[in-house]
Structure 1
């Protein structure tokens, strides 16, 4: 958070002496009748410098009331990419030996979107299966460690790991991969919103019995733990479409389409189509959460602005802003205010901690 503190004290210049505030206070500039006003509407000190923070001071007492102006930065979502590297990813989207392969489509599309969202999302990577072609669902296929832990500004590390990965995996233990991902996400000690992005080409195949049901239950359990799953896939048969649809619905983030027969997962039959799908997903997980570096001195005297437009305090969470918890360390925008931030950019959001009896709006 970038913060600029500006004093709210009355000028120390006596009546009739020249004041040095840099704006238009309650009196004319240069008369000493009022403090200057900075670019965001904050009051400048008598010498144009910030004063001492004293939120309890009464106006006119010669003490600084501590008005603070902030440009706030959006809290990024955490996304664990769970990437299918089974050998079938080397087939083309029709399930044949043609080109480009599903892997050739998925890798550059993922890397393009991960790069473009480096600041908006914290990325991590889990690949599955672990083993190589040695038979169907051998013991070494089942996923264990997270390859790249989630971290901010992690795009280059994740993309390099994807480049170093080969689609030579043995079987498709989707359910186990999701379960391992959930175990990892539960260890993260932060309140960032967390999601799973499952990129696969269809049917889970491990365990050999009830593999579809096992995978769907794993995704449903992840959602119940607070980790929704987006599913992107390249389906080459009706059975794989059905499997992917089941996973997408269980993950509580199905693709929205007015056609009830349209796939519920995000489509990836071409690189451009996959890029569009991934951009839609990352747009949906972009948060409207803005952390503060400290709680406000007066929680009831806070102003939130998108550009120059005031956002009203709305405790119902329908349309406006509110604190996310009793610690008052994070502000959340909702409704039209959140939509406006998505369109105008998070850098346009400003917060003012106001002085007592100091008008914010």
Structure 2
């Protein structure tokens, strides 16, 4: 299990000019086989810096007017960047079908009985590692028809630090009495809200639902998938948790998870792409996996790299490969390239060894790191 509350930091070693990086000092510091790997080749090693860093991480001996990648002597700077807590907006389905048991009958415990304590347990345990907010859908109580009142209104609890008790109290006060499942509208409202938050913390949507989208304005799977796609394009990835989802719902939930760019990783190609949970313990495990990943393995950068293809990520002396599939390696979390995310075994290794062992190197525009 990943430690969701792990306090992390990352050392970013940035080569901020476009000239060649293989200077005389570079060659002397490597023990060299020409591979460019840290400490072993003609290229720069992890601990080979040119120029002293200024106070508070300010660049040392660089042209203050130069843009990244345009310095005269490929000067480098090193500075520490503290991990920032992820912001997670929980988008929670409160449709009346959540009162059914996991088999879709009238038995107990209901899906709502499973969801509430599981969410509250994980939100409490990640209070310091993640900033939580809450959006519930649909609005209003059931009347037997899916009306305009069913469509999502404002965010119930805005995202804030140390927000667990407030969010949990709101969940306790919520009832599963809504008509329909306007998933697409709920996601669109979430994106509208997240765009108003003026900070650079990584932001995620956690969609917890038990079924297909429904309601007049959101009655197609395509509408919901497009909403999740739009969210991802705006930089807000979506994790999808299916609460005791029946077989007929799997296709839609898989599509939502893939569109959200945070599919569940499983070596079995036939396994669901979303997080499926039919018991409280299964839901707790799924939520811990999600929150552990976003709170342990995200590393914000202070500036985008001069060349996004010339970036090296290392755990100790071990290079982590760039993997755009998100299965096992590192990738940027969004088009701004301001946050690096580790996945798979790389994330597991950081969780066990400590994020202080992670290093990131920016190469010059014409200087691949590996």
Mark yes or no: TM-score above 0.5.
Answer: yes
**CA distance 1:108–1:5, shift in 2 (3 Å):** farther
Deviation at 1:239, TM superposition (A): 2.0
**CA distance 1:43–1:103, shift in 2 (3 Å):** same
Write the distance in 2 (CA, Å) between the matches of 1:212 and 1:19: 55
Deviates most, 292-301 or 145-154? 292-301
Deviation at 1:237, TM superposition (A): 3.0
**CA distance 1:345–1:118, shift in 2 (3 Å):** farther
**CA distance 1:315–1:56, shift in 2 (3 Å):** farther
For the 8 Å contact 2:139–2:153, the answer to whether it is kept is: yes
For the 8 Å contact 2:329–2:344, the answer to whether it is kept is: yes
Deviation at 1:120, TM superposition (A): 1.5
For the 8 Å contact 1:9–1:62, the answer to whether it is kept is: no
Write the distance in 1 (CA, Å) between the matches of 2:91 and 2:198: 20
Show the 5 A alignment for 1:169-248. Answer: 169-207=178-216, 210-248=219-257
Deviation at 1:204, TM superposition (A): 1.0
- The C-alpha deviation readout for 1:1-45, integer Å capped at 9, x for no partner, is 9999999999999999999999xx999999999999999999999
For the 8 Å contact 1:171–1:205, the answer to whether it is kept is: yes
**CA distance 1:156–1:129, shift in 2 (3 Å):** same
For the 8 Å contact 1:176–1:215, the answer to whether it is kept is: yes
Candidates 25, 28, 49, aligned match of 1:14 = 25
Deviates most, 175-184 or 110-119? 110-119
For the 8 Å contact 2:213–2:219, the answer to whether it is kept is: no
**CA distance 1:290–1:260, shift in 2 (3 Å):** closer
- The C-alpha deviation readout for 1:218-257, integer Å capped at 9, x for no partner, is 1111111111111001245322222212211211211122
- For this pair of structures, how many residues does the alignment match? 359
Write the distance in 1 (CA, Å) between the matches of 2:68 and 2:267: 58
Q: Secondary structure at the match of 1:17?
A: helix
Deviation at 1:62, TM superposition (A): 30
Q: TM-score, normalised by structure 2?
A: 0.64
In terms of Rg, which structure is larger? 1
- The C-alpha deviation readout for 1:168-206, integer Å capped at 9, x for no partner, is 111111100000000011111111111110000011112
Write the distance in 2 (CA, Å) between the matches of 1:35 and 1:214: 49
**CA distance 1:80–1:193, shift in 2 (3 Å):** same
**CA distance 1:345–1:161, shift in 2 (3 Å):** farther
Q: Secondary structure at the match of 1:16?
A: helix
Deviates most, 244-253 or 5-14? 5-14
Deviation at 1:81, TM superposition (A): 0.4
For the 8 Å contact 2:333–2:339, the answer to whether it is kept is: yes
Write the distance in 2 (CA, Å) between the matches of 1:52 and 1:121: 37
**CA distance 1:41–1:162, shift in 2 (3 Å):** farther
Gaps of 5+ in 1: none
Deviation at 1:340, TM superposition (A): 4.0
For the 8 Å contact 2:241–2:274, the answer to whether it is kept is: yes
Write the distance in 2 (CA, Å) between the matches of 1:336 and 1:289: 14
- 2:350 is matched with which residue? 341
**CA distance 1:83–1:344, shift in 2 (3 Å):** same
Deviation at 1:344, TM superposition (A): 3.2
Q: Secondary structure at the match of 2:28?
A: coil
Deviation at 1:280, TM superposition (A): 1.2
Deviates most, 284-293 or 329-338? 329-338
For the 8 Å contact 1:72–1:349, the answer to whether it is kept is: no
Deviates most, 336-345 or 321-330? 321-330
- The C-alpha deviation readout for 1:283-313, integer Å capped at 9, x for no partner, is 2222555679999999999999999999999
Q: TM-score, normalised by structure 1?
A: 0.66
Write the distance in 1 (CA, Å) between the matches of 2:290 and 2:26: 61
Write the distance in 1 (CA, Å) between the matches of 2:161 and 2:342: 22
Q: Secondary structure at the match of 1:110?
A: helix
Q: Secondary structure at the match of 2:56?
A: coil
**CA distance 1:349–1:100, shift in 2 (3 Å):** same
**CA distance 1:233–1:2, shift in 2 (3 Å):** same
For the 8 Å contact 1:80–1:150, the answer to whether it is kept is: yes
